[in-house]
């Protein structure tokens, strides 16, 4: 069940980042960026002097992971993409330019997820600002996954690495290394915060493995509104049956819907998963026509609760989604329900609503 990909090792990463200060990261994808202006992916040129860093992140799960590594060192953290927004098509307002202009580091997912936001960042950040595309950094192109919403011919891989706990841990580890070099005064605190977060991620991962084993292999089937679980499925041995939202983000064709109805019937899919943020009458229709249970509460990048609550975190989001999926497919989620995913580190991020 283990996903075979490159593991980031802290000491090696520090050495690599230092070595790559003037050259390209092996895993970085330029995507048309002005490399002289923005530097190489996740590479720190010089530390911030005399203050805590100013940090910008994009989608809420990434903001949460970064904020938990930062803790209460006094850093200014802003999550730029509003929760409940389609991050693929989100167009940042002009006011976001001023936020980006002040940033010492901008943490993005990359993998062609937030292109309008990336374009605004490239136009407004300073030469010393670190632009860190976490997904692009950690995932070699050979491990990119393509699917219904992200077909290979479109050239855009599935970018949703953060729904797979080991990859979310990699995101946090890259943030740790970048922040430790950007703000060496607080490096020990960042390391301590990361260790707390990493322990929770590992426990969540182990509980999900245990819960998955309570579902027969041929019943671990996912039909969702959006293709957000490709790397999750590969890691835990699940199968993504399909997704309603095509790569154009328009409505699926009648043929697409007919094919999914036939597939649900043929494979005896036990549940269809919709999004709380983006309700789908088509998924509801497929459920009604096949007699399959329709559950419309999953979230891709909209954290549960409100900012300041323990549930409003990456681990709160994943625990909720994993319990929902396991129980809907007839499994036992008690290992997941037994976890204490309350925040142990202060989350001082400002989340855009």
Residue-wise pLDDT tens digits, 1-60: 433 333 343 434 434 434 333 333 344 333 333 333 334 699 999 999 999 999 999 999
**Residue 242, token pair as written in the block:** 């399909």
Segments in the chain below pLDDT 50 = 1-39
> pLDDT at position 289, please?
92
Residues 6+ apart with CB under 8 A from 215: 326, 329, 330, 331
Q: Which CATH number fits domain 214-337: 3.40.50.300, 1.10.10.10, 3.40.50.1980, 3.20.20.80?
A: 3.40.50.1980
* Vertex 162: Cα angle to 113 and 130 (nearest 5): 60
> pLDDT at position 9, please?
37
Q: In what order do the strands lie in the sheet with 130-133?
A: 130-133, 105-108, 54-57, 76-79, 350-351
Residues 6+ apart with CB under 8 A from 126: 101
Residue 349 burial by Cβ neighbours in a 10 Å radius (0-12, 13-18, 19+): buried
162: number of Cβ within 10 Å: 28
Separation CA 189–CA 199 (nearest Å): 16
Percent of the chain surpassing pLDDT 70: 87
> pLDDT at position 250, please?
65
Separation CA 220–CA 207 (nearest Å): 16
- In 35-157, alpha helices (H): 35-38, 60-70, 95-102, 115-124, 134-138
Separation CA 269–CA 256 (nearest Å): 17
307: number of Cβ within 10 Å: 18
> pLDDT at position 247, please?
56
- Looking at the chain, the domain(s) classified CATH 3.40.50.1980 span 23-205+345-351, 214-337
Residues 6+ apart with CB under 8 A from 50: none
Homologous superfamily (CATH) of 23-205+345-351 is Nitrogenase molybdenum iron protein domain (3.40.50.1980)
> pLDDT at position 178, please?
98
């Amino acid at each position: 069940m283990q996903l075979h990909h490159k593991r980031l090792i802290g000491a090696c990463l520090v050495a690599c980042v230092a070595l790559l200060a003037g050259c390209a990261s092996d895993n970085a994808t330029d995507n048309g960026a002005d490399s002289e202006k923005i530097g190489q992916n996740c590479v720190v040129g010089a530390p911030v002097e005399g203050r805590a860093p100013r940090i910008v992140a994009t989608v809420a799960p990434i903001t949460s992971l970064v904020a938990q590594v930062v803790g209460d060192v006094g850093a200014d953290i802003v999550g730029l993409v509003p929760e409940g927004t389609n991050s693929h098509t989100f167009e940042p307002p002009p006011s976001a330019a001023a936020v980006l202009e002040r940033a010492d580091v901008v943490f993005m997912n990359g993998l062609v997820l937030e292109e309008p936001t990336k374009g605004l960042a490239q136009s407004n950040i300073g030469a010393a600002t670190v632009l860190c595309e976490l997904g692009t950094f950690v995932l070699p192109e050979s491990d990119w996954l393509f699917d219904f919403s992200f077909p290979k011919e479109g050239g855009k891989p599935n970018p949703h690495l953060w729904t797979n706990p080991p990859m979310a841990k990699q995101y946090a580890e890259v943030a740790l290394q970048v922040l430790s070099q950007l703000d060496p005064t607080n490096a020990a605190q960042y390391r301590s915060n990361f260790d707390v977060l990493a322990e929770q991620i590992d426990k969540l991962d182990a509980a999900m493995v245990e819960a998955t084993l309570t579902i027969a292999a041929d019943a671990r089937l996912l039909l969702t509104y959006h293709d957000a679980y490709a790397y999750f499925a590969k890691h835990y041995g699940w199968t993504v049956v399909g997704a309603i939202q095509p790569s154009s983000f328009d409505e699926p064709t009648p043929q697409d819907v007919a094919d999914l109805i036939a597939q649900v019937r043929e494979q005896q899919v036990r549940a269809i998963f919709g999004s709380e943020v983006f309700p789908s009458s088509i998924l509801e229709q497929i459920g009604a026509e096949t007699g399959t249970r329709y559950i419309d509460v999953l979230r891709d990048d909209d954290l549960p609760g409100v900012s300041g609550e323990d549930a409003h975190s990456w681990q709160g989001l994943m625990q909720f989604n994993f319990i929902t999926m396991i129980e809907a497919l007839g499994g036992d989620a008690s290992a997941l329900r037994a976890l204490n995913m309350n925040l142990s580190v202060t989350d001082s991020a400002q989340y855009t609503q």
